[in-house]
Amino acid sequence: MSASILRYKDTRTREKLDIDRENLWLHFVVRPLSVYPTRLFLALGVSPNQTTFIGIVISIAGCCLLAFGDYWMVLIGAIIINIGFLVDVIDGNIARHKRQATKYGGYIDNLADRLVAGIVPIALSTGLYATLGNALYLVLGMGWAFFITFKCLITESYRVSFGEKARRFYKAETKSLIYRAGIAIETSMIPLLLISAIVDIAWLFMIIWTAITGFEMIFVGILTLIKTPRNNI
């Protein structure tokens, strides 16, 4: 069974493989580790979509712990969120192994990623405010969540409006150094959250990551405006 599970790597598209390689935590740690719990999920007969929902529940539970602000609560919450990230990888393993990959499953998986990405800053900022008493962290949390949400609105609106041209545009952009660097930064949020929790510098992580997501939103907005096909407007 282990050999057949490992073959899921061969079914990923080249674009997916390239993006995965930019996320060192995913490529070298999470994805190799995911093979082992995948065996358990397969033995239990858990479907890919059920696995996705399990990952959502786990990640939200971790986010709730972040909101307490206590060192141990934040640390345990960060660990649980990383476990949720592991489960998020497992659902794809199962889908590819069982040949059950569907557009609905991809939609739910992407929605789960966006949901967790939006909850983390709100929960973390709430915890920092509770422990440090500085309302600035609440502002930073709302800003971080807004930047993530608005960036998603920009990209999804572009896809809906321009269809196949948007698909070709994103496919071409995945080869650019700037895009790949952005992916590497964005997907490093979960492991860096854990590191910041261990070192007890979640406040610094909040400041830096709010700035990063803000610059990323601006960059994506400008890039899509520049690349928009004017003759179709």
For domain 2-232, is the CATH number 1.20.120.1760? yes
**For the whole model, what pTM was predicted?**
0.84
Per-residue model confidence as pLDDT tens digits over 161-211 = 666 555 555 555 555 555 555 556 667 889 999 999 999 999 999 999 999
**Residue numbers of the chain with a pLDDT score lower than 70:** 1-22, 161-186, 227-233
Cα angle vertex 194, ends 153, 112, to 5°?
A: 35
DSSP code string of 104-129: HHHHHHHHHHHHHHHHHHHHHHHHHH
Per the structure block, which two tokens stand in for 6? 């490992």
Q: Where are the domains of the chain?
A: 2-232
Q: What are phi and psi of 188, to 5 degrees?
A: -90, 0
Q: What distance in Å separates the CA atoms of residue 63 and residue 197, rounded to the nearest whole number?
A: 13
Per the structure block, which two tokens stand in for 131? 């422990």
